[in-house]
Amino acid sequence: MKVIPAIDIMGGTVVRLVKGDAQNKVVYGSDPAEMAIKWEAAGADMLHVVDLDAAFGTGSNAEAIAKVVSAVKTPVQVAGGIRTPEAAREALEKKAARVVIGTMAYSDPEAVRKLAKRHPGRVVVSIDQAGGMVMVKGWKESAGVKVNDAISQFVAIGIEDFLLTSIERDGTLAGPDIETLASAVAFSEKARIIASGGISSLEDTIRAKSVGCAAVILGKAMYDGRVSIERVKAIA
């Protein structure tokens, strides 16, 4: 199981939100590149860098993300507001080891299929779920599709990696949605599930591993010192 710390960027700073609420945030640093270097030194397998302003449609942190990529050798997975094929291609060609596609995947799956064919193994589809339904556009609207139906749809067009986030638990330290994660892992042998949302302890990461998740995203619990990359890697 890979260990992937999250670096969420808003207004050029490193933040964590609660349930994706931009009004409910904690700032953890003013230099995303410096944070990336810290997590790389701790042994991160990959960095999950999210442009929250782009996700909310309020701005861009492209410059800050470029600095993160330049600062580390660890692969960087870029997410947030990548809603056109051109934006995805630009990210892959200039800075990202992988891109995470959310809203565009559900509005234009054919574009995602073409992107995945052109960049095999470098496209991740985001499944941000609340109550079992996929949410899009900064977690504000329903895509009208259930979690496992989304997995089925995208596996059929060549996607293998899925970032499964429980919106209701994200930033809450309430523990991961193990039931949904386990269901997704069991649903398709072709899908690699990255667990995100609610991780609060080493025990939570062990539970994610035990149900077969391919990777785990560490966020608030890591920033608050409740769990460390080193300890998670020891069991991963």
Going by pLDDT thresholds of 50, 70 and 90, the confidence category of residue 95 is confident
For residue 181, give its domain range: 2-235
Of 128, 161, 177, 204, the catalytic one is 128
CA distance 51 to 62: 8
Burial (CB count within 10 angstroms: exposed 0-12, middle 13-18, buried 19+), residue 182: middle
Q: Which residue has the tokens 């991963």?
A: 236
Is residue 8 flagged as an active site residue? yes
What's the whole-model pTM score?
A: 0.94
pLDDT in tens, 197-232: 999 999 999 999 999 999 999 999 999 999 999 999
pLDDT at residue number 170: 85
Going by pLDDT thresholds of 50, 70 and 90, the confidence category of residue 120 is very high
Is residue 128 flagged as an active site residue? yes
Burial (CB count within 10 angstroms: exposed 0-12, middle 13-18, buried 19+), residue 104: buried
Our count of domains for the chain comes to 1
Residue type at position 222: M
User: What CATH number does residue 24 fall under?
Assistant: 3.20.20.70
Give the chain's mean pLDDT: 95
Going by pLDDT thresholds of 50, 70 and 90, the confidence category of residue 16 is very high
* 226-236 per-residue burial string, b: 16 or more CB within 10 A, e: under 16: ebbbeebbeeb
